[in-house]
C-alpha cells in the first residue's frame, strides 16, 4: 500500500494520457543491440530532479539534472512544498532528456530504479508516483533505492573498489560513517546527533550574509566558507571541536553553530555594524569554523578506522575510505582526512564532484548493483512506499562507543 499522505501528493499521479504521450515521444529505433543490462535511475529525494541511464559496465549513456539550489538560496532554505512543485514541473522533461541522450528506448530498459528513502516526503512522492506509472506502462521491474546506499556505492562505478570499505557521507542533509560489506550490507558506525556539517556551514554563511559578499554571491554556504577561509586566520578564534569526551564515532554540529552565532553577534557589536552587513572578521570566522569542522570530522573518522581494524572488519593495510557528499568537495576537509588515512595506511577515495552530490547516475548504478546481485528487484509494486526516515544498515554505533577507542593525536597542519 502506498503511504496515504495527501500532502505528499503520492496519488496525484501524472495522467495516463500524459504518460502515453511521453512514451510515444520515443519513436526512434536505434538499431543497436544492447548486450548489457540497462537501468534508468530517478532521484527526487531532496532538491534535485535527476535521471540517468547506466549500463552494466558502468557506462553512463545519458543523464539530466534540474537543480533547485538557486530558488532555495533566495528563500534561505528548502521549503518542501516549493521543492515538490519544482519536481512536478521538471520530472518528465528530465527523464525524457536522460533517455533521449542515452538513445535507449524505454522498452529496452532492464529496470527502473528510484530513490524511495530517506528524504523529504513531498519530494520522494513525486519521483515514486512518476516511476510507478512508468513501470506500470512498460511492464518493467522496479528497484526501490536507499539514497545513502546509492551515495556509498557510487565509488564502484568510477574505481575498482572491493567490499569491505569505509564510507563517510557529509553533505547538507547527511552525516554518517558506515562500513560497506556488500550491496545491501551496511554497518552504521556513527552519525550526526543533530544537524549535518553542510547545514551548519550554510547557517553560518547565512548569518554572515555571505550572499552579499561580491566574491561569494552565487556560492553555496559551504563553498563560500571555503573560499573566504583562504583569506582568514583560523587562530583568531579559539573554537573547540565538538564531543571531545565522547569516544564514539557520532558527530554534532549544532553547538558549534550556536557558538558562532554568539561570536558573530559580539563582533557586530564591536565593529558597530548591523545584522546583515559583512563583518571585517568574516574571513577569520570562516577559517576557524572550517578548521574546527575538519578536525571534528577527521577525529571521528580516525576512530572508525581504528575500530574496524581492531575488530578485523577492515584489512590492516590498504583499507579504503570513501568520502562523498557536497561537503566532500571541500579541499581543506579532504586534506585533514588525508592526514588520517596516511597515518592509518588507508587509501582515501572521493568520487568526482558531480557524483558526490545528488544525481541520477548513482541511483541507476545502485540499480545495476542490485540487478547483478539479484537483490530487491520488484516485479509487483503493490505495497511499495516511500520512507522519509530510514536508517542505513545495522546500527552498531553503541558498540563503537563502548569500545571507547582513544585516538592518537595527529598534527593537523593543513
Ligand atoms: O550533497 P549536496 O549537494 O546536497 C545535500 O545536502 O544532500 O550537498 C550540499 C551541501 C551544502 O550544505 C553545501 O553548503 C555543502 O554541501 N558544500 C560545501 C562545499 N560545497 C558544497 N561545504 C563545504 N565546502 C564546500 N566546498
Ligand atoms: Zn544526498
Cis peptide before 164 (omega within 30 of 0): yes
Quote helix, strand, coil % in the chain, to nearest 5: 45, 15, 35
pLDDT at residue 123 above 80? yes
Residue ranges, CATH 3.30.420.40, the chain: 38-160+357-392, 167-353+395-403
Evaluated on CA atoms 214, 220, 222, 226, the torsion sign reads negative
Spatial distance between the Cα atoms of 328 and 159, rounded to a whole number of angstroms: 17
Q: Which ligand is nearest to the CA of 328?
A: 1
If pLDDT is split at 50, 70 and 90, which confidence band does 45 have? very high
CATH number of 38-160+357-392: 3.30.420.40
Q: Which ligand is nearest to the CA of 392?
A: 2
- State whether the beta carbon of 88 lies less than 6 angstroms from ligand 1: no
- State whether the beta carbon of 202 lies less than 6 angstroms from ligand 1: yes
What pTM was estimated for this model as a whole? 0.91
The predicted structure's pLDDT at residue 27 = 59
Instruction: Return phi, psi of residue 326, to 5°.
Output: -55, -40
Ligand 1 centroid to Cα of residue 220, in Å, is 7
Evaluated on CA atoms 106, 107, 109, 114, the torsion sign reads positive
HSE (CB half, 13 Å, CA atoms) of 52? 24
The predicted structure's pLDDT at residue 34 = 61
- State whether the beta carbon of 144 lies less than 6 angstroms from ligand 1: no
Q: Are strands 48-55 and 38-43 parallel, antiparallel or unpaired?
A: antiparallel
Each residue's pLDDT tens digit, 184-230 = 999 999 999 999 999 999 999 999 999 899 999 888 899 999 999 99
Each residue's pLDDT tens digit, 295-337 = 999 999 999 999 999 999 998 888 999 999 999 999 999 999 9
- State whether the beta carbon of 9 lies less than 6 angstroms from ligand 1: no
Measured CA angle at 393 (ends 388, 395), to 5 deg: 100
pLDDT at residue 2 above 70? no
If pLDDT is split at 50, 70 and 90, which confidence band does 71 have? confident
Least confident of 32-41, 44-53, 86-95, 268-277: 32-41
Ligand 1 centroid to Cα of residue 35, in Å, is 37
Distance of CA 98 to the CA centre of its chain: 21
**For residues 143 and 115, is the Cβ–Cβ distance under 8 A?**
no
Residue ID of nearest Cα to ligand 1 atom 23:
222
**For residues 152 and 366, is the Cβ–Cβ distance under 8 A?**
no
* Interacting residues of 293 by C-beta distance below 8 A, sequence separation 6+: 197, 200, 201, 253, 256, 333
Ligand 2 centroid to Cα of residue 176, in Å, is 12
- State whether the beta carbon of 329 lies less than 6 angstroms from ligand 1: yes
What class, spelled out in words, does domain 167-353+395-403 have in CATH?
A: alpha beta
Q: Are strands 48-55 and 142-146 parallel, antiparallel or unpaired?
A: unpaired
Amino acid at each position: 500500500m502506498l503511504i496515504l499522505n495527501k500532502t505528499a501528493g503520492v496519488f496525484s499521479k501524472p495522467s495516463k494520457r500524459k504518460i502515453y504521450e511521453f512514451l510515444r515521444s520515443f519513436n526512434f529505433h536505434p538499431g543497436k543491440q544492447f548486450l548489457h543490462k540497462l537501468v534508468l535511475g530517478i532521484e527526487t529525494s531532496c532538491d534535485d530532479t535527476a535521471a540517468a541511464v547506466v549500463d552494466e559496465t558502468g557506462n553512463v549513456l545519458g543523464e539530466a539534472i534540474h537543480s533547485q539550489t538557486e530558488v532555495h538560496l533566495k528563500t534561505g532554505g528548502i521549503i518542501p512544498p516549493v521543492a515538490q512543485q519544482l519536481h512536478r514541473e521538471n520530472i518528465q522533461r528530465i527523464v525524457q532528456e536522460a533517455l533521449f541522450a542515452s538513445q535507449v528506448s524505454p522498452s529496452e530498459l532492464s529496470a527502473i530504479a528510484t530513490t524511495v528513502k530517506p528524504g523529504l516526503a513531498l519530494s520522494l512522492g513525486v519521483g515514486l508516483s512518476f516511476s510507478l506509472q512508468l513501470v506500470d506502462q512498460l511492464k518493467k521491474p522496479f528497484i526501490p533505492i536507499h539514497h545513502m546506499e546509492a551515495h556509498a556505492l557510487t565509488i564502484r562505478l568510477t574505481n575498482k573498489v572491493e567490499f569491505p570499505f569505509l564510507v563517510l557521507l557529509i553533505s547538507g542533509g547527511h552525516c554518517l560513517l558506515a562500513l560497506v560489506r556488500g550491496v545491501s550490507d551496511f554497518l552504521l558506525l556513527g552519525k550526526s546527533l543533530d544537524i549535518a556539517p553542510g547545514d551548519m556551514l550554510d547557517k553560518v554563511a547565512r548569518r554572515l550574509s555571505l550572499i552579499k559578499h561580491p566574491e561569494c554571491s552565487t556560492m553555496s554556504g559551504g563553498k563560500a566558507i571555503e573560499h573566504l577561509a583562504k583569506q582568514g586566520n583560523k587562530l583568531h578564534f579559539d573554537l573547540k571541536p565538538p564531543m571531545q569526551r565522547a569516544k564514539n564515532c557520532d558527530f554534532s554540529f549544532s553547538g558549534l553553530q550556536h557558538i558562532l552565532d554568539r561570536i558573530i553577534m559580539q563582533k557586530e557589536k564591536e565593529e558597530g555594524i548591523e545584522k546583515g552587513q559583512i563583518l571585517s572578521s568574516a574571513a577569520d570566522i570562516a577559517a576557524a569554523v572550517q578548521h574546527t569542522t575538519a578536525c571534528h570530522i577527521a577525529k571521528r573518522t580516525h576512530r572508525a578506522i581504528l575500530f574496524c581494524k581492531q575488530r578485523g572488519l577492515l584489512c590492516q593495510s590498504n583499507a579504503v575510505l570513501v568520502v562523498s557528499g557536497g561537503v566532500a568537495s571541500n579541499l581543506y576537509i579532504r586534506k585533514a582526512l588525508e592526514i588520517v588515512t596516511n597515518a592509518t595506511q588507508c587509501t582515501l577515495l572521493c568520487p568526482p564532484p558531480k557524483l558526490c552530490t545528488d544525481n541520477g547516475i548513482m541511483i541507476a548504478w545502485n540499480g545495476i548493483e542490485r540487478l547483478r546481485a539479484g537483490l530487491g528487484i520488484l516485479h509487483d509494486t503493490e505495497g511499495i512506499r516511500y520512507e522519509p526516515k530510514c536508517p542505513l544498515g545495522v546500527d552498531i554505533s553503541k558498540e563503537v562507543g563502548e569500545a571507547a577507542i582513544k585516538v592518537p593525536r595527529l598534527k593537523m597542519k593543513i
